[in-house]
Amino acid sequence: MPKSEPQDRRRRWDQRMLDAGYKRVGLWVPAERVELFKELKRQLLDDSDYQALSDFVLCSYWSMLEDPDCDDLDRAFARQRLRELGASPAASGASEDALPSSLNSND
């Protein structure tokens, strides 16, 4: 083991993960949801499932913008998260499906 590596096995693992571009996240969850979070972790670490999981999260935030049960605080939260995730919502009143008029014409 090189002299620069930590002696503790856990610290070595943490350092390898940091070097690979990962960040440690700690959170407290209700005991009955532990398995769900373990599954989410597994999917996040598995590149093949990452895009589907990302699409699900983005779709959930987009849905919050239109859900009548969501209040203004919920929608503000969803807009902020979409911006942070690089999927900014359209300006208020604009439709996501609307194309500029120059692209709508068939000529």
Whether residue 39 is contained in a domain is answered as: no
Instruction: Residue count of the chain, please give it.
Output: 107
Least Cα distance to 88 among 61, 52, 54 occurs for 61
Domain count, the chain: 1
pTM of the full structure: 0.46
Whether residue 84 is contained in a domain is answered as: yes
Whether residue 93 is contained in a domain is answered as: no
Give 24-45 pLDDT, tens digit per residue.
888 888 899 888 888 887 777 7
Q: Is it the case that residue 8 has pLDDT exceeding 80?
A: yes
How far apart are the C-alpha atoms of 107 and 88, rounded to whole Å? Answer: 31
Whether residue 35 is contained in a domain is answered as: no
Domain range for 66? 54-88
